[in-house]
């Protein structure tokens, strides 16, 4: 009986992962349709994962000048 349960749990987990991935793709497409660039998404992801940072630290993380980082922000 347990193998059937394990298979069902695996299938559920796979379907949930596929739905999340699909929802993320739709969300990215919507953002890109609103003139948010991949660079902006990258910066948002960095800030989300690393927390608040100075413009200098952001520039170093992205390997760009402070002026360029300021322009992106």
Quick: pLDDT tens for 10-57: 888 888 888 777 777 777 777 767 777 888 888 988 998 999 999 999
Instruction: Supply the DSSP string of 41-58, one letter for each residue.
Output: HHHHHHHHHH----HHHH
Q: Which two tokens stand for residue 4?
A: 């059937």
Would you state the pLDDT for residue 21? 78
Prediction pTM value: 0.54
């Amino acid at each position: 009986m347990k193998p059937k349960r394990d298979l069902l749990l695996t299938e559920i987990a796979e379907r949930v992962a596929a739905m999340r991935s699909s929802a993320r793709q739709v969300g990215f497409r919507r953002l890109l349709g609103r003139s948010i660039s991949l660079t902006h998404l990258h910066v948002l992801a960095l800030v989300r994962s690393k927390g608040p940072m100075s413009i200098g630290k952001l520039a170093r993380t992205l390997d760009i000048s402070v002026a360029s980082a300021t322009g992106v922000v």
